[in-house]
Structure 1
Amino acid sequence: MLIALNVLLFATAFFCLAVGITAAATQRVLPWLAGKVVRPRLWGAGYILFGVVVLYHAVVALVHVDPDIELVLTVVTTVTALGGLGMMVVAQRAGREARPLA
């Protein structure tokens, strides 16, 4: 069960990083978000932050970390994840449709 969870965490992390880097570099988002995301680079940067947090938790599940350090890093990753989610929310303001690029 633990191996399956770790594989799922790593796959999710790499997916988030790939989609975030693509959005930040090329201003292209997933097809179902194309009409909602007003600022694709900001959305991609937020998705990269979220992917880094998921990757951290996948690695920590495999490696033993000192509990005091793990507590501090958990607080840091929680703030990072909330910051990334906030960036994604700001990038796709509700009620506004993005104009097609061309």
Structure 2
Amino acid sequence: MRYFALIYHVAEDYVSRRAAFREEHLELARAAHRRGELILAGAFSEPADRALLVFRTPDASVVEDFARNDVYVKQGLVTRWEVRPWNVVIGDEPG
């Protein structure tokens, strides 16, 4: 298993628009968390311009599929996203 960071760059009006789509977005995230794929997730604040989701999966395709199916991406709340492999040095549990 490898770690991947999914970085969302969000629209300027993200905070005001997200309420209509939040439950659908959270259900997708909760399902990924239940499967053990999504480890941590949250939005940055001050400024609220990005979000970070950390996955532990065999390959990046799982993370890419998550982003492509996320209502925040589909509805334009996320203006750009990227998946980056993340080399964990401290805190990784043997798997």
Q: TM-score, normalised by structure 1?
A: 0.29
Q: TM-score, normalised by structure 2?
A: 0.31
Where is the helix percentage greater, Structure 1 or Structure 2? 1
Name the structure, 1 or 2, with higher relative contact order (CA <8 Å, separation 6+): 2
Larger Rg: 1
